């Protein structure tokens, strides 16, 4: 199984193949609008604007599994992110990252890079960095700010 084998659930309910992102460096993040880490949207947007033209993409997956901190529907989430953080990177459909209904992509990411609590995602804004060949090269916990990833991203670009 490779990362390009997975389908992304779009905010409008459609799906898109991750193969469309072949050759790009990816930062895959589970997000929430009402979380103490929500201001990281600002840093994520800065990374996106700095590196997108060099082949860098951010895929944000809203998730309501942690403290019910992402209660809105796709339209509410998009409006919040646009109005408050001027987010221009893709916001996917809301998913689960843990448990029996966990999104298959997130099951794969957790298998590739376990965390301090084993494979489970412990909170919102867990970040996975994927190289141009589709290898999951790093996992960063919620406390790691997006700007702390610049050197890793630059090395992969």
What's the mean per-residue pLDDT of the chain?
A: 93
> Out of 27, 35, 44, 130, which one is annotated catalytic?
35
Question: Which is higher by pLDDT, 114 or 44?
Answer: 44
Q: Global pTM?
A: 0.94
Strand partners, 28: 59, 128
Q: Say if CB 137 and CB 131 are below 8 A apart.
A: yes
C-alpha distances in angstroms, 150 versus 29, 80, 144? 15, 25, 11
102-140 pLDDT per residue, tens: 999 999 999 998 766 668 899 999 999 999 999 999 999
Say whether 35 is catalytic: yes
Q: Which of 8-17, 86-95, 124-133 has the lowest mean pLDDT?
A: 8-17
The topology under which CATH files domain 3-156 is Glutaredoxin (3.40.30)
């Amino acid at each position: 199984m490779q990362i390009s084998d997975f389908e992304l659930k779009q905010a409008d309910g459609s799906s898109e193949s991750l193969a469309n992102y072949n050759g790009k460096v990816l930062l895959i993040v589970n997000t929430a609008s009402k979380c103490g880490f929500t201001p990281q949207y600002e840093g994520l947007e800065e990374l996106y604007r700095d590196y997108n033209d060099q082949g860098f993409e951010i895929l944000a997956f809203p998730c309501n599994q942690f403290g019910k901190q992402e209660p809105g529907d796709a339209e509410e989430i998009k409006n919040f992110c646009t109005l408050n953080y001027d987010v221009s990177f893709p916001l996917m459909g809301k998913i689960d990252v843990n448990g029996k209904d966990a999104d298959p992509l997130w099951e794969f990411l957790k298998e590739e890079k376990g965390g301090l609590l084993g494979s489970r995602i412990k909170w919102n804004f867990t970040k996975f960095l994927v190289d141009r060949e589709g290898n999951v090269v790093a996992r960063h916990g919620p406390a790691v700010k997006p700007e702390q990833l610049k050197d890793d991203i630059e090395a992969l670009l």
